Amino acid sequence: MTLSRILLCSSLVASTMFAQNLIQTAKDAGLVALPADKAELNKLIEDSSPDSKAFPTTDKRVELGKKLYFEPRISKSGIISCNTCHNLGLGGVDGVPASTGHKWTPNPHHINAPTVYNSVFNSVQFWDGRAAHLAAQAAGPMTADPEMAATPALVEERLNSMPAYVRMFKDAYGEDTKITFDLITTTIGIFERTLVTPSRFDDFLNGDEKALSKDEKKGLELFINEGCTTCHNGVNLGGTMQPFQVAAKYKFADVGDFKGDANGLVKTPILRNIHLTAPYFHNGAIWSLKEAIKTMGSVQLGIDITDDKAESIATFFNSLTGRMPAITYPMFPASTDATPKPELDY
């Protein structure tokens, strides 16, 4: 065997050992892959949904939930849907610092819309963690005056006025089903359970050593060694309540009045598809991912992350951009004479 072939074989062995060690290191740091097996993934989704035992996922419920997710008539004006602020074509966000709602009203607290993709795996919903699951989250924007500005009674009346929706609910839940606000939000949550995006990062943790590039592996190693997994861990690399401004003050803390929950805890942003979800932080004050990484180093970890290290970690984040589910925009039932008219309040 020639020297060049010996060196090549040695390099391949070293590369393989590094990848295997990095996979184990990542797991030891609390990073969890989405299962490659479809049945295992579906089980994880159901197990992550507190209401799944009472309302298991079925194809008809998912399809109905999709219609409701895109349905603008569940808003007071008849022009705002869940997809307005959580646009499935834009990484599940709206791409602006603070969402805009009814009467073109900006969010009064200057809150940035978190992504809906993979949100089923969050331990809580909303930046302050006030909702325990997706159905509870869906109720909030529908009834918030600066968002969709509807009332439960109005949403129920609109959907019950359309025979096609009445039929769809019966097909999804049984002939005795009544369209209630709680069932509407539950159904939207069932659709949102399916918005899961497995990525090359999952392939890597599941054993595909070639799924990440050399530079992405270097960035992952830095991500772990710099301490980022302290908060960004689990299957979503985030999604749990954590203290904020641990080591220093966030320089844009005064943009908006959001202070977290009663204990000052904030839901850690998930890092899946992070390259698609700018601007960053609860108030959308930072547009550059490198700047966001450096800010987290100083605010949370009390360290100086250099430009080169931030670039490397951002390169690793490329592997978290997932394979998006195919979403076909739905066609909606026609309104009837009994359907309450849009209330624009202009």
* Both tokens assigned to 255: 């943009």
Which residue ranges make up the annotated binding site for heme c? 82, 85-86, 102, 228, 231-232, 296
Q: How far apart, in whole angstroms, are the C-alpha atoms of residue 6 and residue 13?
A: 11
Q: How far apart, in whole angstroms, are the C-alpha atoms of residue 256 and residue 181?
A: 31
Which residue's structure tokens are 């970890």? 301
Which amino acid makes up residue 290? K
Q: Which of 63, 71, 147, 192 is catalytic?
A: 147
Give CA torsion, residues 298, 300, 306, 310, to 10 deg. Answer: -140
Contact (CB, 8 A) for 216 and 319: yes
Residues contacting residue 244 through CB under 8 Å, at least 6 positions apart: 250, 260, 264, 265, 266, 299, 300
User: 265 in helix, strand or coil?
Assistant: strand
Which residue ranges make up the annotated binding site? 82, 85-86, 102, 228, 231-232, 296
| Cα–Cα distance list, 315 to 138, 209, 239 (Å) | 33, 17, 21
Active site residue 147: yes
Residues contacting residue 269 through CB under 8 Å, at least 6 positions apart: 114, 238, 280, 281
Contact (CB, 8 A) for 299 and 247: yes
**Residues of the chain by 3-state class (helix, strand, coil), percent to 5:** 45, 5, 50
Contact (CB, 8 A) for 145 and 102: yes
Residues contacting residue 117 through CB under 8 Å, at least 6 positions apart: 88, 91, 92, 195, 196, 197, 272, 273, 322, 324
Q: List residues with catalytic annotation.
A: 147
